[in-house]
Structure 1
Amino acid sequence: VYLLRIAGDNRKIVDTATTDQTGSFEFLPDKNFPVGQYAVVSGPTQMIELIFNDENIRFVTTGSSDRDQVQIIESVENMIYYDYLSLKGETLYKLDLLDPILQYYPKPDTFYSKTLAEARALQSYLNQRVETLIGNNPNTLAARFIRVDKPVFADPSLSKKEQKAYLKSHYFNDMDFLDTLLMRSNILTSKIVGYMGLYQKKGMTKQEMEDQLLMAVDTVMDKSFVDQKMYEFVIGFMLNGFEHIGFERGLEYIANKNMLNEFCVNSDRKKELENKLELIKKLALGKTAPGFEAVDMKGDTIRLKDIRSQTTLLVFWASWCPHCSETLPLLKNYYDPQHTGRLQIVAVSIDKSKSDLTKAIAENGYDWINIGELKGWNGPIVNEYGVVATPTFFVLDKDKKIIGKPVSMDELKNFLE
């Protein structure tokens, strides 16, 4: 059984324990153990979230997921928190059942009026119970988390468009961006994700979706600017998320619009983010790709500027990467080593082992240009391109300008076909 510390979308193992024959286990943190949100994990999908605030925690559960029944035996914080989670879950479930009626049932009908009254009553009851929980336990960490996590309700009589407009305006009303303890949980990041979801709807084009998301990014950056640590945390979270989904416009927008330089303290995190943001600017679409010179696996000197091809595909990969093993063989369908005037592929490996790399190239028949820096994630080309995952693709035009950074084979095909 693992104990994980939660900080936004990050999870870090901080302790382990072994269960006895009854399934019992125990963690014994030291006296300086940080307060915040933690997760007890016993399997890939088996996780129970808990709040630690310098008190003993005892619980029993019918399973190993927060979807199973969790009974808190000892811990005021978690009794409050799980009381709230149960109440929220039950209320949202009932409201979801009523929603289709409120949207589609004829409004003059008595049944609609009764349904509307019930929906309003459910919203009011949850709000009142939450305020009571917070009011009776004002100094608890649970109260701080609950106030932020509490659902924001628009009047159920409004249209979906009107509800969404209301939620956009009031979503962060109970959010205190000065409360940096929220960074020790997933409450803050979940709130941000929920807010960005308000700007999406079915049927949007990619351009429309991105335009809307940038509006949400603006609001989140503005709201979090009240504290340096909070701002750094929020900027880092959005950068990681946008990198994961390949939202290049979002990355470039943050790189150009952020106000990190307005903060006076040159923290390590600030420097780290500033370096990352500069790299994003350098690798933005339309920019000339960083040049490099390296010796390939055949012993030939390769200079990026000397490659003569309409399209150059830079691939960062590793022999031990399962996604690479699925994707790279597909590239052979588009590559002709005898005619590279249309497409040249330069594959830069993250491998440290030359024998593993040589074997993978030979077994898979990768006939393109193969470069092995053999320095893992610390290779000069790898660092120059800010590579943090494999496979990573950069598509360059004949002038070596970056025209694409696809995150999937489907996206990559658009440049190769």
Structure 2
Amino acid sequence: MKNKIQFLIILLLLNIGIYSQSIVFSINNTNSKTASLYSLSGERLSFIDSITASSTGQFSFTNENLHTGFYRLSFDKHKAITFLNDGNDIEITADADNIAESLQSVNSKSNKLYYEFVNLNKDYKTKSELLQLILSRYPKNDDYYDLTKQKLNELQYDYLKFVNGKSQKDPESFIARYIKSSQLPVVSNDLQTEEQLEYLKKHSLDNVNFNDDELINTDCFTNKSIEYLTYFRNPQLPLALLEKEFEKAVDTLLTKASVNIFVYQHVADYLVDGFKKFGFDNVVDYIIENYVVKDDLCLDEQTENSLQNRINQSKLLSIGSKAPNIILPDEKGNEVNLANIKSNRILLIFYASWCPHCKDLLPAIHKLYKEKKSFEVVAVSLDEKKEDWIKFISDNKLDWINISDLKGWESKAGQDYYIYATPTMFMLDSELNIISKPMNLEELKKE
């Protein structure tokens, strides 16, 4: 029989008199001897402290510096409880074997309201999507259609009654502000499917207060961002067009978030990190060039470090700037000086023989090169083995200027141009000024 362990966390948030905030977790069916406390910001957790059980099975510590926001108590390796801290005493009970169903707030009205809201959102989302699906399949003259529509109207009415009632009762409270900004959008079921989608694109962010930077310490802005992006997701679109759709969503999100610099940076960081994880590189570059660099945003250190070459390339090698000179040997060992190439336009392309996209793109560029004859090509290989480089040139009959120092990512040319991915292209004029940075063949064709 597992012991019942009471997690007692005493946090000193107000240094007034002898008052100390008490946060207590009573958790059944756990043998944990330690628990860890984290603060939450979007999807990121920051470790605060660990607590060791006392002889009575209590976990306690004091801290005067905890901000208002969401926190997470972690125990039993992969189990956790998220709670809201607004400076008031908190007592929460749960069963470790079934946290979601057993979670209760004993004396914290804010946390009780938070858990009610979380459960209501899940219930509303599931039921409303099911009812909308039924309405889309049934003929309008069917009795069941009218019944379903009535049920959906009732569901929407009850949801809005809860949200409006709780957010308006004490509108300045942290939980009320969270509920108002985090509420799910409610769309009239009189609209057709396409009309509903357009409505969501235009109005689903209407209730989000992007000027409330305290909500950074919750999941509000990240949840609303991912929710908004789903309205632009279309699996039937090719990658290039899908990325263009996401760029539209990004414009709306970051324009709205720009009213508050802290929220702006928070949302930009989340979007960059998310699109990077899912391989939408063009969207990442779009955000960096049009928002991060343009407005000099400070991203999270972890995100910024992983994207430093991207940021530097966008900032230091922007259109109109002078490109670094390159002096490297060609495939025959002859030295090539980029500055000495006589051409009004030079396409500088960084690639590697092992790069899947390069295997498709370079032959296509070569065909365009032969057809247009309006620019010279200098292809810088990031290969490390000469035989791989030479074979790629031979197989694809690349009779343009091929150069490499065979140092891979450590290539000086690659570092001077802050290359973070292949292929990467720069169109230069005769003075090595950057004219454009084509992202793909279609953009290159417009040159």
Q: TM-score, normalised by structure 2?
A: 0.63
Distance 1:136 1:20 in 2: 41
Kept in 1, the 8 Å contact 2:128–2:155? The answer is yes
Kept in 2, the 8 Å contact 1:310–1:342? The answer is no
Is 1:7 aligned to 2:47, yes or no? no
Describe the shift of the 1:288–1:69 C-alpha distance in structure 2 as closer, same or farther (beyond 3 A): farther
For each residue in 1:191-213, what CA deviation from the matched residue of structure 2 results, as whole angstroms up to 9, or x when unmatched? 01111111112312212211111
Q: CA deviation at 1:188?
A: 0.7
Aligned to 2:271: 238
Aligned to 1:312: 352
Kept in 2, the 8 Å contact 1:37–1:50? The answer is yes
Distance 2:204 2:193 in 1: 15
Distance 1:261 1:404 in 2: 19
Q: CA deviation at 1:228?
A: 1.9
Matches within 5 A, 1:344-359: none
For each residue in 1:247-287, what CA deviation from the matched residue of structure 2 results, as whole angstroms up to 9, or x when unmatched? 2222232233228766xxx89669997976343456899x9
Kept in 2, the 8 Å contact 1:313–1:395? The answer is no
Describe the shift of the 1:114–1:16 C-alpha distance in structure 2 as closer, same or farther (beyond 3 A): same
Distance 2:287 2:424 in 1: 23
Alignment RMSD (CA, Å): 4.5
Describe the shift of the 1:61–1:162 C-alpha distance in structure 2 as closer, same or farther (beyond 3 A): same
Distance 2:174 2:297 in 1: 26
Aligned to 2:143: 110
Distance 1:244 1:337 in 2: 32
Aligned to 1:89: 122
Aligned to 2:85: 52
Q: SS of the counterpart of 1:11? A: strand
Q: 1:341 aligns with which of 357, 378, 390?
A: 390
Distance 2:247 2:409 in 1: 38
Q: CA deviation at 1:119?
A: 0.4
Q: Which runs of 5+ in 1 are unaligned?
A: 294-302, 316-333, 345-367, 374-379, 406-417
Describe the shift of the 1:97–1:370 C-alpha distance in structure 2 as closer, same or farther (beyond 3 A): same
Distance 1:117 1:169 in 2: 26
Describe the shift of the 1:137–1:107 C-alpha distance in structure 2 as closer, same or farther (beyond 3 A): same
Distance 1:238 1:65 in 2: 33
Matches within 5 A, 1:108-187: 108-187=141-220
Aligned to 2:245: 212
Kept in 2, the 8 Å contact 1:255–1:278? The answer is no
Distance 2:105 2:203 in 1: 33
Kept in 1, the 8 Å contact 2:131–2:152? The answer is yes
Describe the shift of the 1:150–1:238 C-alpha distance in structure 2 as closer, same or farther (beyond 3 A): same
Matches within 5 A, 1:368-407: 394-395=422-423
Aligned to 1:247: 280
Is 1:279 aligned to 2:313, yes or no? yes
Identity of counterpart residues, as a percentage? 20
Describe the shift of the 1:131–1:260 C-alpha distance in structure 2 as closer, same or farther (beyond 3 A): farther
Distance 2:43 2:317 in 1: 25
The one-letter code matched in structure 2 to 1:79 is K
Matches within 5 A, 1:62-77: 62-63=95-96, 67-77=100-110
Distance 2:324 2:107 in 1: 57
Is 1:194 aligned to 2:234, yes or no? no
Distance 2:409 2:235 in 1: 44
Q: SS of the counterpart of 2:390? A: coil
The one-letter code matched in structure 2 to 1:211 is K
Aligned to 1:354: none
Kept in 1, the 8 Å contact 2:350–2:423? The answer is no
Distance 2:421 2:37 in 1: 35
Q: CA deviation at 1:403?
A: 9.0
Kept in 1, the 8 Å contact 2:351–2:422? The answer is no
Distance 2:287 2:49 in 1: 36
Describe the shift of the 1:137–1:396 C-alpha distance in structure 2 as closer, same or farther (beyond 3 A): closer
Q: SS of the counterpart of 2:243? A: helix
Distance 1:245 1:19 in 2: 41
Distance 2:313 2:238 in 1: 28
Describe the shift of the 1:70–1:270 C-alpha distance in structure 2 as closer, same or farther (beyond 3 A): closer
Q: CA deviation at 1:54?
A: 1.1
Aligned to 1:99: 132
Describe the shift of the 1:33–1:310 C-alpha distance in structure 2 as closer, same or farther (beyond 3 A): closer
Aligned to 1:409: none
For each residue in 1:139-186, what CA deviation from the matched residue of structure 2 results, as whole angstroms up to 9, or x when unmatched? 321111111111101112422211111111111111111100111111
Q: CA deviation at 1:226?
A: 1.2
Q: SS of the counterpart of 1:121? A: helix
The one-letter code matched in structure 2 to 1:236 is D
Q: CA deviation at 1:310?
A: 9.6
Distance 1:69 1:288 in 2: 63
Describe the shift of the 1:246–1:161 C-alpha distance in structure 2 as closer, same or farther (beyond 3 A): same
For each residue in 1:68-101, what CA deviation from the matched residue of structure 2 results, as whole angstroms up to 9, or x when unmatched? 4311113222011112112222222222332321
